[in-house]
Structure 1
Amino acid sequence: MDDFKEKILKICNDTCKGTLMETLDISYVDVGENFLIGRMPVGPKVYQPDGVLHGGAMVALAESVGSAASYIFLNGQEVTIRGIEISANHVKSIREGYVFAKAKIVHKGRTTQLWDIKITDANDNLISVCKLTTIALPKK
């Protein structure tokens, strides 16, 4: 399992180069049978004007992790994954450290998938709850 984990995390992290995920310093840190976890540092780069983590940055983290999870669990070699809807409820603010997004599958259809993504801090305090719907389109 460790070799599988390392391979999957390397693939996910390698695809971040030159993307929004690299800009936000998002990295993928853990993967399991039914989940993927990404992390993002909290600092001035992702602040809103009053010095707390911007909700849009959390949504970008959630969609990045959920879409990467779809790619992993749906064989992204054969399909193109797109996020088609995301919603977020931000329940706590954070000024420093890291946030972690854990994407877990709720519905794994052939065409559409539904992901529950919880964003927490390093102490496992809930920061945001997101729901992401992705679509798998056949590659041409």
Structure 2
Amino acid sequence: MAATGFHTADQLNDLLPGTLPGLLGIVIDSHEPGRLTAHLEVRPDLLAPNGYLHAATVVALADTACGLATRALLPDGSSGFTTIELKSNFLGTAREGRIGVVATNAHAGRTTQVWDAAVTNEDTGRPMALFRCTQSVLWPRD
């Protein structure tokens, strides 16, 4: 597998300032090949006009966890990846507190990777969303 040099939680967190995940306040808690955990604190500016956590915030947390974890499983010689499909099922929401995600690899192939993520309200322990995404592995063009 290709080594990107960004495998520890601290190294991954160093990538976030100045990006959407950084603006949302996403923090990577742990990373090992095939599994990543992260969280964010729910703030008023992350809520939808109805007063509940905006669904896009939950998707961004899950997609960020899966995307950062993809890096460690890229095949040698690949040049990167991009998300080609994602799906979310929402089971609950939050107005405050902390939400967390656990992203796990379901498939790491030469052309695609498939990741699952479970988002949880860490204050209540209740599941909030189930997420699956497919990453396309990119290769240098001749």
TM-score, normalization by structure 2: 0.86
Q: 1:1-140 to 2 correspondence within 5 Å?
A: 8-74=8-74, 78-122=78-122, 123-139=124-140
Equivalent pairs counted in the alignment come to 135
Greater share of residues in helix: 1
Q: CA deviation at 1:79?
A: 2.7
Which residue of structure 2 aligns with residue 4 of structure 1?
none
Paired-residue identity, %: 28
Contact 1:81–1:136 (CA under 8 A) maintained in structure 2: yes
Runs of 4+ in 1 over 3 A off after TM superposition: 75-78
Structure 1, 19-28 or 71-80: larger mean CA deviation: 71-80
Cα deviation code 1:14-45 (max 9, x no counterpart): 11121001110011001234310111111212
Which amino acid is the alignment partner of residue 60 of structure 2? Answer: A
Q: Tell me how far apart the structure 1 counterparts of residues 77 and 22 of structure 2 sit (CA, whole Å).
A: 22
Q: CA RMSD in A?
A: 2.0
Other structure's SS at 1:16 match = coil
Which shifted more, 129-138 or 68-77?
A: 68-77
Structure 2: stretches of 5+ with no match in the other structure: 1-6
- In structure 2, how many angstroms separate the alpha carbons of the residues matched to 1:62 and 1:116? 9
- SS for the counterpart of 1:64 is helix
Structure 1 residue ranges without an equivalent (≥5): 1-6
When structure 1 is superposed on structure 2, of 70-79 and 44-53 the one drifting more is 70-79
